[in-house]
Amino acid sequence: MNTPKKSLGQHWLNDRASLQAIADAAELQSSDVVLEIGPGEGSLTKVLLARAARVIAVELDNKLAARLPQSLQAKNLEVINQDILQFDFSGVPPDYKVVANIPYYLTSNLIRVLSETPNQSRTAVLLVQKEVAERVAAQPGVMSLLSVTAQFFWQVSLGNVVKAELFTPPPKVDSQILIMQRRPTPIFPDVQPKDFFRLVKAGYAQRRKTLLNNLTNGLSLSREEVQELCSKAAIDPSRRAQTLHLQEWHNLYLLTR
């Protein structure tokens, strides 16, 4: 076994039941193309290769990327030695599925990249820190910019919890399977995502401040203008961003166009 690199957030998972649960969550068919992120030593890769037509594994670690094709020797495996955040998704066949046991530090940036690429996957199944999985699937009251982003692009649900002791080395917290299904049609067809998220980011600029304060500063509007905006959207300007649901953000967006 290769020694996991702390700098890359590597934790090996070899528990067969957990690996099967990750693959099950992706509902893999024999015709599917899977993009695996951070295959490491290939324990999950083996499961994916047995179920899918093709696995494209993107691995940042040079040594692991070089060893994986030799250790697995599968005709339906392609290994790419690259940072997934710099990866060109346009070369992956349409309707591919993403399956990954990813380093915790990568989660937020990866969800953003997977969401914003024009060639978006049909499904993304990610094993992430349990607390982060819960944040992505959060409901109004405890929502964050991350959960708004994910739920704008995806239908989000949670799968099995994977205990920390099943990893080598064990991380400090448990993990959970995060399941994101691409929305068949945009949640708001009349929205320009760039402008929508400019509004949402302004609302979340300082988490403990009210919408009135954050939108006044973030949108360069007067307090009176923000109060009028919120009044028309039937939103109390003293609320905080984390209490809003997606439809309320959409109502505000339509009024700022």
Closest CA to 196 of 145, 123, 120: 145
Domain count, the chain: 2
Do 111 and 216 share a domain, yes or no? no
pLDDT digits (tens, 9 = 90+) for 89-108: 999 999 999 999 988 788 99
Name the phi and psi angles at 88, rounded to 5.
-95, 105
Do 165 and 197 share a domain, yes or no? no
pLDDT of residue 36: 98
* Domain containing residue 52: CATH number: 3.40.50.150
Is 1 contained in some domain?
no
Do 172 and 201 share a domain, yes or no? no
pLDDT of residue 9: 46
pLDDT of residue 11: 66
**Whole-model pTM?**
0.92
Do 51 and 178 share a domain, yes or no? yes
Do 223 and 154 share a domain, yes or no? no
Do 153 and 215 share a domain, yes or no? no
Q: Which residue's structure tokens are 């710099």?
A: 86
Do 202 and 155 share a domain, yes or no? no
Is 34 contained in some domain?
yes
Task: Tell me the residue range of the domain where 243 lies.
Answer: 193-256
Angle at CA of residue 129, ends 188 and 57, nearest 5°? 80
Do 172 and 198 share a domain, yes or no? no
Last residue of a domain, one of 163, 182, 201: 182
* Domain containing residue 242: CATH number: 1.10.8.100
Kindly give the parts of the chain with pLDDT less than 70: 1-11
Is 107 contained in some domain?
yes
The full 3-state SS of 17-58, as one line of letters, equals: HHHHHHHHHCCCCCCCEEEEECCCCCHHHHHHHHHCCEEEEE
Do 102 and 32 share a domain, yes or no? yes
Is 51 contained in some domain?
yes
Is 188 contained in some domain?
no
Do 238 and 118 share a domain, yes or no? no
Q: String of b and e for 213-251 (b: at least 16 CB within 10 Å)?
A: bbbbebbebeeeebbebbeebebebeebbbebebebbbb
pLDDT of residue 32: 98
Do 71 and 126 share a domain, yes or no? yes
Do 214 and 177 share a domain, yes or no? no
Last residue of a domain, one of 182, 212, 234: 182
pLDDT digits (tens, 9 = 90+) for 22-54: 999 999 999 999 999 999 999 999 999 999 999
Last residue of a domain, one of 182, 207, 222: 182
